[in-house]
Structure 1
Amino acid sequence: MGQISASQSGAGSVSTQLLRSSINFLHIVLMVTAAAAPLVVASTYIPISMAAGAGMATALTYAATTAILLIFSVGFAQMAKRITSAGAFYTFSAQGLGRPMGLSVGFVVLAAYSMISAAIVGGFGFYGSALLDEHFGLSVPWYWVSITGLVLMFVISYFRVTFTARILGVLLALEVLVVLVVALATVFSGGTQGQQPEAFNPGEWGAAPAVGIGFFLAFWSWIGFETTAIYGEETRDPKESVPRATYIAVLTLGIFYTFVAYAGTVGFGDDSPAQAGTLIDQYFFVLADSHTFGFMRTLMDFLVVSGFFACAFAFHNNASRYFYSLGRDGILPRALGRTHEQHKSPHVAAGVQATIAITAVAIFAIGGADPLVHLATWLPIFCTLAVLLVQFLVCLAVIGYFNRVGRVTGADWAKTLAAPVVGAVAQGAVMYLLVNNLSFLAGGDVMVVKLIPLYVAVIAVAGFLYALWLRSSDPDRYATIGDLHDDELEELFIDEQYVESGLEHDRRVD
């Protein structure tokens, strides 16, 4: 299997293990939901979709995206039941499509998650700077707020993962409570024209400004839900907890987003798209003023900042674990695969990720970029396209993996063939819509944005070619690509249904 121990790798007694069984099912759900940043989605992405994306069909678009991601999650969950790794998409792809494709996926998702942290922290800097100015009379440039936030993320991630989970859990609970209060108050009040059942009429897609933009924003709202698998190595009973957490996270976020988008439509009735275009980031703040108590808006001013922080922090942890996984496999410098002796956190990888994000923020700041228009818009386009491509390939990996190990029942065929095929087609369709609307998303014919598909392709090809080079020049390192590092998990997995049919489930990859 190519497994390399600490002594074999020359690391001696250096710690390379994460803190096993340290987090539970609830912690996973909290962290993946924090990555979705409910208040950020409500205050920013839903109004933009109403104004320039799915229009009156925004709630329907979120409902449709929920269905697509639930279908994708079926195959994803089947893989998570059998493979537990901090590498998640990277490891799944290596096991299902072979090592070269696995490393290609690993490079793409690492680049995406690394840049998502930088992109989201741009919003944190923008709103944090405004908050300091309005409520405390302090004039602090957005980039210093962003950089301070990234340093704080590294400090927190240096300690045990349970510390991270508690912080994200508290921030998330406050976010969800505030958004629900505003949404419920708006719906129960009937807004300006009463309830809006036409918001769920597919015919509204035909009148939408740009359906592709609506789906882009919806998928962007979910990016990071594979956090469930990333924390598998640190989870109690990962074979049960990870799949269950994935389904619950996707479904609860979907219901939440759909309801909040519907509340936004009820707020101004037929005039909602026009009002959203005028108010944009103030849309739900105005609804809060109109339908709740006065202090809610002030509370939202603070929580939108904490929401951006929680979201950026969650992706900081995601990217850190991908750096850690690739470092542990020896694909990237092995120092990245080290963990803290006491806390068992991937502290080296976390430091590298924080440095990369700080550098990205500095480059945008020096170039005079706007933190929302450029940093928090252009980078998410790249990240979303990259993650959609990865999810498309993971669907194929599920099919390839179970083609090799075999299927027994009709349910097996539905979960590991039919569902991944539907998921792959859906991911491909959304990728097409995204690429077809690049200029619109960028706010103009911007060459650096038009070349985003090329950037993603170059990264994917680089990973694939690097794997081929390793295969010929360093077979031992090549053998570690997508490896499984838990001795218990390295044994051949024999599921009860396979035992009964005489089929054994192995994990060897070409």
Structure 2
Amino acid sequence: MRIDQLPLRSPVAGLRRRGLSMVEVLAQSVSALAPSAAVVAVPPFVMAQAGAATLPVLVGGTALVVLVGWCLTAFARRMAAVGGVYSYTAKGLGPGAALLAGWALVVGYAGIAVSALVGSVAYLVSFTGLDPPGPAVALVAVSVGLLATLTTVRGIRLSARVALALEVVSVGVVVAVLLVLLAAHDGGSGTGAAVVDGPVSAGGVATGLVLAVAAFMGFESAATLGVEARRPLVAVPRAVFWTPVVTGLLFVAAGVAQVVLLRAAPVEVLTGDVPIAQLADADGLGVLPRLLDAGIALSFFACVTGSINALARVLFSMSREGVLPAPLGRTHPRFATPAVALAWASPLLVVVPAVALASGVRARDVLAGSLTVSALGYVLAYVLAAAAMPVFLHRIGELTRPTLVAGTLAAALSAVVLVVAVAGASWSGSGAMVVVFVVAWLPGPVLWLVLRRRSPETLARVGVYDQATAGSLLPGQGVRR
């Protein structure tokens, strides 16, 4: 390409380009997914919905996420984007579908940030052994949210490294606690068996599958670091694929252990805020329960930072395209982070759970509700991104039979899970969360309709990604004429 045909400025200029190593890119996916928190917090929710079908649901959710991850690597090996799945969908299905997927991602990242914030607070409270009133718990939530915001504004490199180290330690503690509890298990059963071995319904299984997928939410967030990664076309696809594979093995194994343990426990433990910590306390495991509380709290905190990082970069990408107000596309002059998007999103993510906790709502209820809303957003985004993959590959002349089958299968299965879960929401008592999701997601379709009518040239810019500029070429590169 001739140098005079290259742009003078990248569409995503302002972010620190090509600075993150493979480990730091991987750390973004790991921190946003928060494996140790997910494998402890999610299985009890799945049990409450899927009953006796819990283990097949956990395996099915894992397999579906791995398939979606493989589909996303087809994009990640070919383009370095800030919008991640949002930008990928634009390249396959166009701007309309991209805005539907992008705003679903916004809802998903926001919901999981709220869930992780509440989870962190719940385990911090369990760590102290106190039972503070609602306003005090809300103050803890505000403090955790403020710390997470400052960490993300400061830069992703430090937060990613710290998060990865914390996750490794936390996973070790979780595995140790589960093994000790299993070793002490006497094989009996308690009132929890009525839930663990409960009746199976289509709506419950579908809702359970959505929640199982929720355990992996954020695995694709490394795709938002395409501009900042040192080797984006290598590091991002590896992180996006291998994070759910390795975490999936841990998730299913931990699920098996919790089915055994919670079947023998009182039903009040299974439906409590911190079931495994309560079991560890009841078995008198000394310092291990407190280490578990600390590890899970830190894992949830890492998830807050990872989710806010990804959310801010999607908003940044939309701003640079003209879809959202221009200030959201500004970066910090020193730290090269999307500081305005972070400052805009973070207060809302903190205020919602803080108000709920201050008013006396149980942490488990806030966690379950925000997790459901988030899961619906993620699954919708995955449906569109998976469907976009074969279209994108066909457009560039690289479609093969395996990619066609994988994309079609991932999109179809994700769509079935989403539709059945929404249809069965009233059966499982989560219908209100579907309404919350729809209301939160509506700005996406509205933006598309408004821009389609009033500013089609803005829609044409949807899907920006990092591009070489004239200034990025070394002397002698390019064709000068």
Q: Same fold (TM over 0.5)?
A: yes
> 1:57 & 1:182 partners in 2: Cα distance?
25
In structure 1, the partner of 2:426 is 439
Considering only aligned residues, what root-mean-square deviation do their CA atoms show, in Å?
3.3
* Match in the other structure for 2:43: 46
Task: Return 379-388 or 352-361, whichever deviates more.
Answer: 352-361
1: CA distance, partners of 2:467 / 2:205: 44
> CA contact under 8 A between 2:178 and 2:257: conserved in structure 1?
yes
Q: 1:128 to 1:282 in 2, by over 3 A?
A: closer
Aligned residue for 1:498? none
- Tell me the TM-score normalised to structure 1 length: 0.81
Q: Does 1:355 align with 2:352?
A: no
CA distance in 2, matches of 1:177, 1:400: 42
Distance in 2, matches of 1:293 and 1:224, equals 32
Shift of 1:213: 3.3
Does structure 1 retain, via aligned residues, the 8 Å contact 2:85–2:102?
yes
Count residues with an aligned counterpart.
460
CA deviations on 1:427-457 (whole Å, 9 max, x unpaired) are: 01211232133235546xx6x4352464266
Contact 1:97–1:397 (Cα < 8 Å) also in 2 = yes
Match of 2:468 in 1: 487
Residue matched to 1:320: 312
Q: 1:5 to 1:324 in 2, by over 3 A?
A: farther
Partner of 2:152: 157
Q: Which residue of 2 aligns with 1:23?
A: 20
2:142 maps to which residue?
A: 147
The TM-score with structure 2 as length reference comes to: 0.85
> Identity over aligned residues, as a percent?
22
- Please tell me whether the aligned partners of residues 113 and 383 of structure 1 are also in contact (alpha carbons under 8 angstroms): yes
Cα distance in structure 1, aligned partners of 2:100 and 2:294: 40
Number of the residue aligned with 1:83: 79
CA distance in 2, matches of 1:301, 1:309: 12
Paired residues of 1:47 and 1:277 also in contact (CA < 8 A): no
**Paired residues of 2:107 and 2:437 also in contact (CA < 8 A):** no
Question: 5+ residue gaps in structure 1?
Answer: 10-14, 195-202, 492-510
Partner of 1:224: 218
Among candidates 408, 415, 426, match of residue 428 of structure 1: 415
Shift of the alpha carbon at 1:470? 4.5
CA contact (8 A) 1:157 1:317 kept: yes
Instruction: Give 1:185's aligned amino acid.
Output: V
Deviations 1:86-109 (A, max 9, x none): 101111111111122222322221
Inter-partner Cα distance in structure 2 for 1:4 and 1:351: 30
Residues 414 and 115 of structure 1, relative CA distance in 2, 3 Å threshold: same
Deviation by residue 1:354-398 (Cα, 9 ceiling, x = unmatched): 1221332355357x2515254322222222112111110111111
For residue 327 of structure 2, the aligned residue among 327, 331, 335 is 335
Match of 1:237 in 2: 231
CA deviation string 1:231-250 (max 9, x = no partner): 12111211111111122101
- AA partner of residue 414 (structure 1): P
Is 2:99 the partner of 1:118? no
Match of 1:382 among 356, 373, 381: 373
Q: CA deviation at 1:164?
A: 1.1
> CA separation of 1:22/1:441 partners in 2, compared to 1, >3 Å: closer, same or farther?
farther
- Checking the alignment, whether the CA contact within 8 Å between 1:205 and 1:211 is kept in structure 2 is no
Relative to structure 1, the CA distance from residue 29 to residue 484 in structure 2 (aligned partners, 3 Å threshold; closer, same or farther) is: closer
Structure 1 pair 330/4, CA: closer, same or farther in 2 (3 Å)? farther
Secondary structure in structure 2 of the residue aligned to 1:486: coil
Tell me how far 1:337 sits from its aligned partner.
1.4
Deviation at 1:212, TM superposition (A): 2.5
Counterpart code for 1:17: G
Query: Which residue does the alignment assign to 2:297?
Result: 305
- String of CA shifts for 1:327-352, please: whole Å, max 9, x gaps: 22222122221222222111111111
Task: Say whether the 8 Å CA contact 1:320–1:346 is kept in structure 2.
Answer: yes
1:249 equivalent to 2:243? Answer: yes
What is the CA-CA distance between 1:221 and the residue it aligns to? 0.7
Show the counterpart of 2:435: 451
Q: Per the alignment, do residues 289 and 449 of structure 1 end up closer, same or farther by CA in structure 2, a change over 3 Å counting?
A: closer
